[in-house]
Amino acid sequence: MNYAYANVQNIYKQNQVTTAPKKKLLIMLYDGAIKFLKLAVKAIE
């Protein structure tokens, strides 16, 4: 992955967060928590 593409991805993600309504932010928060909890369970096993 080149630097320009990674930068575009970061800007896109940042815009998603800064323009999202509060309900969407809460869903994004829980989605991230679930994702990392699953990773933690796999790491423990």
pLDDT digits (tens, 9 = 90+) for 1-45: 687 878 999 999 999 999 999 999 999 999 999 999 999 999 999
SS3 track for the chain: CCHHHHHHHHHHHHHHHHHCCHHHHHHHHHHHHHHHHHHHHHHHC
- Say if residues 31 and 23 touch (Cβ distance below 8 Å): no
Q: What is the pLDDT of residues 25-35, one digit of tens each?
A: 999 999 999 99
